[in-house]
Amino acid sequence: MGVTRLKRKDRVNKAVANNRVAEIKRLQQKPIIRNVDVEAIKADFAAKKEGNQ
């Protein structure tokens, strides 16, 4: 007696699992943290404001 394999269901199950793993990996990625000099940015804005007026 043979065994019938549900190939379409197997593909769907694998796709769902792969998408779930990919989504988890995407959510766990951390953005690149850069050192930002806030004082230099404030000075730059102040200089632009002085130059426009």
The per-residue pLDDT for range 3-46, each reduced to its tens digit, is 888 999 999 999 999 999 999 999 999 877 788 888 998 999 99
User: 3-class DSSP state for residue 32?
Assistant: coil
> In which domain, by residue range, is 35 found?
7-52
At residue 1, the pLDDT reads 62
| pTM given for the model | 0.49
Q: Is the pLDDT of residue 2 over 80?
A: no
Residue closest to 27 by CA, chosen among 35, 38, 19: 19
Residue 1 lies in a domain: no
Please indicate, yes or no, if residue 22 is contained in any of the structural domains.
yes
- 2 within some domain: no
pLDDT of residue 9: 93
Domains held by the chain: number? 1
- Residue 13 domain-assigned? yes
Residue 28: inside a domain, yes or no?
A: yes
- Assigned domain for 31 exists: yes
Task: Give the torsion sign (CA, 33, 34, 37, 40).
Answer: negative
In a domain, 47, yes or no: yes
